[in-house]
Structure 1
Amino acid sequence: LSAEKQPIKLSWRKIEWLLMKEKEIALQSQLNSLKLQINPHFMFNNFNNLLELIEEDSGLAGKFLSNLSKVYRYIITNLDRNLIPVADEIKFLDSYLYLMKVRHDEGVIAKVSPGVRQCKGFLPPAVLQLLVENAIKHNSFSSEHPLVIDIKLSDDYITVSNLKSPLMSPIESTGLGLKNITERYALLCDKKVKIENAENFYSVSLPIIKNTIPYEHTDS
């Protein structure tokens, strides 16, 4: 046979490597698609807040915009990663909570336990912010009756929970935020997100990921 017609022979090890690489590329593509959903969702809600503030208090709106730009830069920086340290996620959450403090005054109180702040491990980016945002979106609150959101460490999970305070005109939940989180976890590890939806109580527990290989960073 000529060189052109000779069949290409691959070892089983080479075939396994190619299949593994193909699977990794497919998983990374799915993760990238899910992460792209976060950006417009996050910005849309906060620009709505900004527009309302401009009408109410232009000075405060300027400070809000300044902090929003810092948060947005942070989200852009970390969305090229599949996982970030818990400590970095908490810093981002603190920045987001500042925006909510400006917007809602004493109406929203988020309590982050010392155990969470000292936790070693990794989370997909923006998962805590998405859960806090969902709690704010689907509950009624005021300065006199604030929405209290607890963020605690339990074994190898971080739990975000709150007592339910239904809105007078409930907003129909699309479930996209939680669906995004559970799908990213399904691609990153074997542990599942735990959801408790009781009559007066709601909580979501996120697994802390200890090992960042092979999905710590994207190739981009």
Structure 2
Amino acid sequence: MKLALDIKRFRFYLGVGAAYLSLWLFVDLVSHPEAFRLWASNEFWRALYIVIVNILFFEYTLPRLSRKRIFRSAFLALGQFFLYSFGLYGWRYLGIQLGVHTAFKTYSSFPEGVGDQFGAGVFSVLFFGIIKHIYDYRKLKEAAQLLRIEKQEAELNYLKSQTNPHFLFNTLNNIYVLARDKSELAPESILRLSKILRFMLYEAGGAYIAIEQELKIISDYIALEQLRYDTSLHVSFNYDVEDIRQALPPLLLVPLVENAFKHGVSETRNQPFLDIHLSLKQRQLEFYVKNSTETVLAERHVKENIGLSNLRRQLELLYKDYSLSVHQAETVFTATLKINLSSHV
């Protein structure tokens, strides 16, 4: 018979055995205070056997009981019955012979003694079984919670891995336009892109950044995009933040700004504009992005691109209290993001 038991599991049974022993010691202290020392010796001797036989039952016998292998199951059940009855009686007798167990009770017959010990064995199974069930249930919930967190982190990392290249692709496309037209602004655009790449490589890898850094990357991105446009593009970017050191997941706000340029401003032929406002007070973040579009009335239905859909899923994984709404008017597109930063999962 091979029985594998890790150290944590063994400590668990020792803990339950200690609780089982403490229970009986309390009973003996109340019932037999005058001979408590002798009764305590009996309980220690019995608890030693009870712990071993219950480890055997719950870790070896019980997992192997099966209807498909009825003969083996019957043999194992019979063996366990023997340990809880005849075995416990024999353990008591051995303790008496060794002088570590005091026979306060004399049985009139062997079956009476075996039956009495079997009752104690059944109680120990119930005691260990109830505690083990609670322990295993909690461990199962912890494992499920850990698995859920790991799955969410993996999905969040995947979404970021999608969003960041998407963001860079659009930026490189803008630089390509400048280079194709042999614009004198191409070198400056590459320099600005290098700053954004440096941020993404060295600053955006963690779980949080200061809101000040997010504002800086948005400003750099706007400046990079503006190189493509003449003075006809009007950009308004303002913010009201009570503490610029407050933490925020990196690049959480950038997709809305990127979306405004790629699917709004870049497609606007007359008077393109972009209005951005950020408010952050008492852990309540409100981010508004309004941009010009060329969408006609018949096309007001909003079809979310990869940037917006990824952002929405990231918010689901990161926060419990948030809202992201988009509205398409005749020539204006508005995105509104509200987050209770204290509701982070």
Contact (CA 8 Å) 1:87, 1:117: kept in 2 or not?
A: no
Structure 1 residues 141-160: aligned runs within 5 Å: 141=268, 145-153=271-279, 156-160=284-288
Which residue identity lines up with residue 19 of structure 1 in the other structure?
A: A
Cα deviation digits, residues 9-40 of structure 1 (max 9, x gap): 65444333222211111111110111101122
Kindly state the Cα deviation for residue 61 of structure 1 after the two structures are TM-superposed.
0.9
Q: Distance in 1 between matches of 2:202 and 2:268?
A: 32
Q: Distance in 2 between matches of 1:2 and 1:56?
A: 77
Match of 1:218 in 2: none
Q: Distance in 1 between matches of 2:212 and 2:293?
A: 30
**Aligned-partner SS, 2:227:** helix
Q: Which structure would you say has the larger RCO, counting Cα contacts within 8 Å and 6 or more residues apart?
A: 1
When normalised by structure 1's length, the TM-score is 0.79
Match of 1:16 in 2: 141
Match of 1:187 in 2: 317
Q: Higher helix fraction: Structure 1 or Structure 2?
A: 2
CA distance change for structure 1 residues 179 and 117 in 2, over 3 Å: closer, same or farther? farther
Q: Distance in 1 between matches of 2:203 and 2:238?
A: 23
Structure 1 residues 50-89: aligned runs within 5 Å: 50-89=175-214
**Aligned-partner SS, 1:49:** helix
Which of residues 304, 308, 311 is equivalent to 1:178? Answer: 308
Kindly state the Cα deviation for residue 115 of structure 1 after the two structures are TM-superposed.
0.6
**Aligned-partner SS, 2:335:** strand
CA distance change for structure 1 residues 105 and 84 in 2, over 3 Å: closer, same or farther? farther
Q: Distance in 2 between matches of 1:208 and 1:62?
A: 40
CA distance change for structure 1 residues 103 and 208 in 2, over 3 Å: closer, same or farther? farther
Kindly state the Cα deviation for residue 2 of structure 1 after the two structures are TM-superposed.
3.5
Cα deviation digits, residues 83-126 of structure 1 (max 9, x gap): 33222111111111110121224344443334148455443322
Which residue identity lines up with residue 61 of structure 1 in the other structure?
A: A
Indicate the structure (1 or 2) with the bigger Cα radius of gyration. Answer: 2
Q: Distance in 2 between matches of 1:199 and 1:206?
A: 20
CA distance change for structure 1 residues 160 and 109 in 2, over 3 Å: closer, same or farther? farther
**Aligned-partner SS, 1:190:** coil
Q: Which ranges in structure 1 are unaligned for 5 or more consecutive residues?
A: 215-220
Q: Distance in 2 between matches of 1:207 and 1:110?
A: 24
Pair 1:100 & 2:228 matched: no
Which residue identity lines up with residue 3 of structure 1 in the other structure?
A: L
Q: Distance in 1 between matches of 2:342 and 2:277?
A: 19
Match of 2:240 in 1: 115
Kindly state the Cα deviation for residue 41 of structure 1 after the two structures are TM-superposed.
0.6
Cα deviation digits, residues 49-85 of structure 1 (max 9, x gap): 1111112235421111111011012123344234332
Contact (CA 8 Å) 2:174, 2:225: kept in 1 or not?
A: no
Which of residues 132, 148, 161 is equivalent to 2:289? Answer: 161
Pair 1:203 & 2:331 matched: no
Contact (CA 8 Å) 2:260, 2:291: kept in 1 or not?
A: no
CA distance change for structure 1 residues 147 and 195 in 2, over 3 Å: closer, same or farther? same
Which residue identity lines up with residue 305 of structure 2 in the other structure?
A: G
**Aligned-partner SS, 1:115:** strand
Tell me the percent identity.
Answer: 23
**Aligned-partner SS, 2:336:** strand
Q: Distance in 2 between matches of 1:208 and 1:122?
A: 12
